[in-house]
Structure 1
Amino acid sequence: MATIDEIRAIKRKHSATLLQRPGVVGVDIDVKDAEEAVLQVYLDTKDPKLIAALPKRLDDVPVKYVYSGPIHKQG
């Protein structure tokens, strides 16, 4: 099990690459409890082909995909 600091480093390492993928609009860390944290990737589409093409783990950390819809900059 990776520590939160290790997961933050993995997020920094992979975020730019993930965000270049069509349909990926955000990357975050989801902490369910002190024992389980995952990378959470936000998608603007519910396309099962997109999810199938994306990694299930990155550097041995589980990845969870969440449909958020499009995300727009504010301000």
Structure 2
Amino acid sequence: ALRGLVDRLPALVWTYFIPMLSTSAGLIPDDSPLYRALARYLLPASLVLLLLSSELKAIARLGRTALVVMAAGCLG
């Protein structure tokens, strides 16, 4: 059952939800260096990798607004 869930959800979902759920469950405290490292480095890096793997031609067909939003996401 867990294997099916892992296969269906993208890695970005796991990158966000595992730290969030572990903090909510009390496994990792909010002030932990691990939590800060995940929030500061892993999450932004995973967003950049996700955006870099997208098809730029398909996004360009969506229009200027979509390109601006994607650029803001990469820089943000």
Q: TM-score per shorter chain, which class?
A: under 0.3
Larger radius of gyration: 2
Higher RCO, Cα 8 Å, sep 6+:
1
Alignment TM-score, normalising by the size of structure 1: 0.28
The two structures have a TM-score, normalised by structure 2, of 0.28
> Going by fraction, where is helix more abundant, 1 or 2?
2
Structure number with higher strand proportion: 1
